[in-house]
Amino acid sequence: MLTPRKHLDLDVSVLRISALLLKELQKRGVVEFEKLRAYILRRAGSDAEVTFLPALSFLFLLGKVRYHGQNDTVEYLAR
> Is the pLDDT at 52 greater than 90, yes or no?
yes
d(CA 27, CA 40): 14
All structural domains of the chain with their residue ranges: 11-76
- Which among 72, 16, 22, 73 is positioned nearest to 48, based on CA atoms? 16
Percent of the chain with pLDDT over 70: 87
Helix axes 33-44, 14-28, angle to 10 degrees: 130
pLDDT in tens, 27-48: 999 999 999 999 999 999 888 8
Contact assessment for residue 40 and residue 16, using Cβ atoms and an 8 Å cutoff: no
Determine the Cα–Cα distance for residues 35 and 73; give it in Å rounded to an integer: 9
CATH among 1.10.3720.10, 2.40.160.60, 1.10.10.10, 3.40.50.280 for 11-76 = 1.10.10.10
